[in-house]
Amino acid sequence: MHLRVWNVTARHEQRGHILIITIDRPEKRNAINNEITEAIDKALNELDDNPELWAGVITGTPTMFSAGTDMSTQDGRSTERGGEYGLIRRTRVKPLIAAVEGNALGGGFEIALACDLIVASTTARFALPEVQRGVIATSGALFRAMRALPINVAREMLIAGTSLDADRAYQLGLVCQVTEPGLACEMAVLLAERICGASPHSVQQTLKAINSQLAAEDALGWEATRVAVEAILQSEDMQEGLAAFFEKRSPEWKGR
């Protein structure tokens, strides 16, 4: 096992042919800032470029996957190879598994949606609460959620902020395995090891073929997201929603 610490908030380690990336900022609910983005990007660059690495796992701390973007700093760095969070727009051919304990909220859920498979413990909860803050999901959920879930379930999550627990997420096909608390990463590594028992060339060509078929849908999804974001950035509701969030009060929406 080789452990590398890129900064105090994220680390990654190699276990055989598997790279395990851990977001470790529990005092901020594993909210993503520029430093974590850079660490994820470096780790995934290594996964992409190292021929001895065949699969990856990304996880958080024992009680929290990630609450998404750090709203206190509103860091918005996007990397050249990975896009948002160093991951969201990355072109990958090596499988990446999200191991979720606790909440995967907003951008945290979008990180999981950007992975190929999701393993979750019974403590996991998935939600897209952006509209409750006067903003929208900007990192792929506007099209990936309805690809991973029945359209009406995805719509409810996106416009009502409704959450899914691990069992319902499994029943709906979003999550491939559910574990007891504290075992999501271990189970994800076992799944990665099973994948690594197959031909890495065959696995990579399979993922490449799948992703090539989704590329056109992704392009439409990103364009629709861009149009929606432009409208939100000009809205009074966004300013009110963010102010209410930081002031810990209920927002007073103006509907514009």
The domain spanning residue 16 has which CATH number? Answer: 3.90.226.10
Confidence grade of residue 129 (pLDDT, cut at 50, 70, 90): very high
Say whether pLDDT at 46 is over 60.
yes
CA distances from 117 to 7, 8, 120, 172, 176 (A): 26, 27, 10, 14, 7
pLDDT in the model for residue 74: 67
Structural domain includes residue 234: no
Look at the chain and report how many structural domains it folds into: 1
Structural domain includes residue 35: yes
Q: Dihedral sign, CA of 117, 65, 186, 2?
A: positive
Structural domain includes residue 188: no
Q: How far apart are CA 215 and CA 218, in angstroms?
A: 5
Residue 106: which region, alpha, beta or left (left: phi > 0; alpha: psi -120 to 50)? left
Q: Which of 38, 84, 101, 130 is catalytic?
A: 130
Structural domain includes residue 233: no
pTM: 0.94
Say whether pLDDT at 5 is over 90.
no
80 is catalytic: no
Can you give the residue range of the structural domain that contains 128?
2-182
Say whether pLDDT at 193 is over 90.
yes
Structural domain includes residue 133: yes
Structural domain includes residue 62: yes
Q: Which of 110, 156, 180, 186 is catalytic?
A: 110
Query: Mean per-residue pLDDT for 183-201?
Result: 98
Structural domain includes residue 19: yes
Structural domain includes residue 240: no
110 is catalytic: yes
